[in-house]
A and B are shown apart, each in its own frame.
Chain A
Amino acid sequence: MHILLIEDDTEAAKFLVKGLRESGYSVDHAADGREGLFRATEGQFDLVVTDRMLPHIDGLAIIQLMRQKGVTTPVLVLSALGSVDDRVKGLKAGGDDYLTKPFAFVELLARIEALSRRRSSVPDATKLKVADLDFDLLARRVTRSGREIELTARELKLLEFLMRRAGQVVTRTMLLEGVWDLHFDPQSNLIDVHISRLRQAIDRGSDRQLIHTVRGSGYVLRAED
Chain B
Amino acid sequence: MLRRELLNTTAFRLSVGYMFLVTLAVAVTLGSAYLLTDGLITDEVDVIIDTELKSLQDRYARTGIPGVTDEINLRIDSWGRIGAVYMLVDNNFAVIAGNVTHWPFEGMPAENWPEFEIAAIEPGRRAVHPVRAAIRTLPGGDHLLVGTDISQGRRFAAKFQTAMLWGIGLTSLAAALTGFWFSFRLARRVGDVTGTCKRILAGELGRRLPVAGANDEFDALAISVNDVLERLEDQARTLRATFDSAAHDLRAPLHRLRTRMDALLLRSPALEPAVHESIESALREVDHLQRTLAILLQIALAESGAPLASSAAVDVGELASELAELFEPVVRDRGLTLVDHEDSGAIVQGNRQLLAQLVTNLIENCLKYVPAGGQIELCVKRLADSVCLVVSDNGPGLAADDRMRAIQPFVRLGQSSRPDSSGLGLSLVAAIARLHRARLLLENNEPGLRVVVELPLK
List the interface of chain A (C-beta within 8 A of B). Answer: 9, 11-12, 15-16, 18-19, 22, 53, 80-85, 88, 100-106, 154, 180-190, 193-194, 197, 216
Contact = CB atoms under 8 A, between A and B. Distances in A.
Interface stretch (B130-138, B226-234, B247-255): B247-255
A180 B322 contact: yes
Given A81-B244, A182-B356, A187-B420, A12 B256 contact: yes
Contacts of B327: 188, 190
A83 B266 CA distance: 29
Interface in B353-394: 353-354, 356-357, 360, 364, 367
Interface in B12-40: none
A11 B244 CA distance: 21
Interface stretch (B67-75, B175-183, B290-298): B290-298
19 contacts: A11-B256, A11-B259, A12-B259, A80-B247, A80-B248, A88-B309, A100-B251, A102-B254, A102-B286, A104-B258, A104-B262, A105-B259, A154-B326, A183-B353, A184-B360, A187-B291, A188-B367, A189-B330, A193-B330
A84 B353 contact: yes
B330 A19 contact: no
Tell me if B's interface is mostly helix, strand, loop or mixed. Answer: helix
A105 B263 contact: yes
A70 B287 CA distance: 38
B106 interface: no
Q: Which 10 residue pairs spanning A and B have beta carbons closest together?
A: A105-B262, A80-B251, A102-B255, A102-B258, A101-B255, A193-B329, A85-B309, A80-B248, A15-B259, A84-B353
B393 to A, nearest CB: 15
B445 interface: no
Interface string B262-298: 1101100000000000001001001100110010011
Given A193-B333, A197-B329, A184 B356 contact: yes
Given A19-B266, A183-B353, A185-B291, A82 B297 contact: yes
Q: Which of A82, A83, A106 has the most CB of B within 10 A?
A: A83
B171 interface: no
Contacts of B325: 154
A101 B330 CA distance: 28
Contacts of B262: 15, 19, 104-106
B266 A22 contact: yes
Contacts of A82: 247, 251, 294, 297
Interface of B: 244, 247-248, 250-252, 254-260, 262-263, 265-266, 280, 283, 286-287, 290-291, 294, 297-298, 301, 309-310, 322, 325-327, 329-330, 333, 351-354, 356-357, 360, 364, 367, 420
Contacts of B352: 181
A72 to B, nearest CB: 25
A11 B263 CA distance: 12
A137 B271 CA distance: 45
A53 B260 CA distance: 21
Given A19-B266, A105-B262, A80 B255 contact: yes
A186 B364 contact: yes
B238 to A, nearest CB: 16
Contacts of B256: 9, 11-12, 15
A167 B88 CA distance: 136
Given A12-B255, A104-B258, A184-B356, 4 more contacts: A15-B256, A104-B287, A106-B262, A194-B326
Contacts of A180: 322, 326
Nearest to A87: B353
Contacts of B353: 84, 182-184
Nearest to A193: B329
Contacts of A81: 244, 247-248
Contacts of B301: 83
B255 A9 contact: yes
Q: Which of B254, B256, B265, B333 has the most CB of A within 10 A?
A: B256
Contacts of A190: 326-327, 329-330
Contacts of A104: 258, 262, 283, 287
B306 to A, nearest CB: 10
Contacts of A85: 309-310
A18 B259 CA distance: 11
B153 to A, nearest CB: 86
Nearest to A92: B310
Contacts of B351: 84
Contacts of A19: 259, 262-263, 266
B316 to A, nearest CB: 15
A127 B51 CA distance: 124
A154 to B, nearest CB: 6
A187 B263 CA distance: 25
A104 B254 CA distance: 11
B248 A53 contact: yes
Contacts of A12: 252, 255-256, 259
Q: Which of A22, A180, A182 has the most CB of B within 10 A?
A: A182
A85 B301 CA distance: 11
Contacts of A53: 244, 248
A193 B252 CA distance: 33
B107 to A, nearest CB: 103
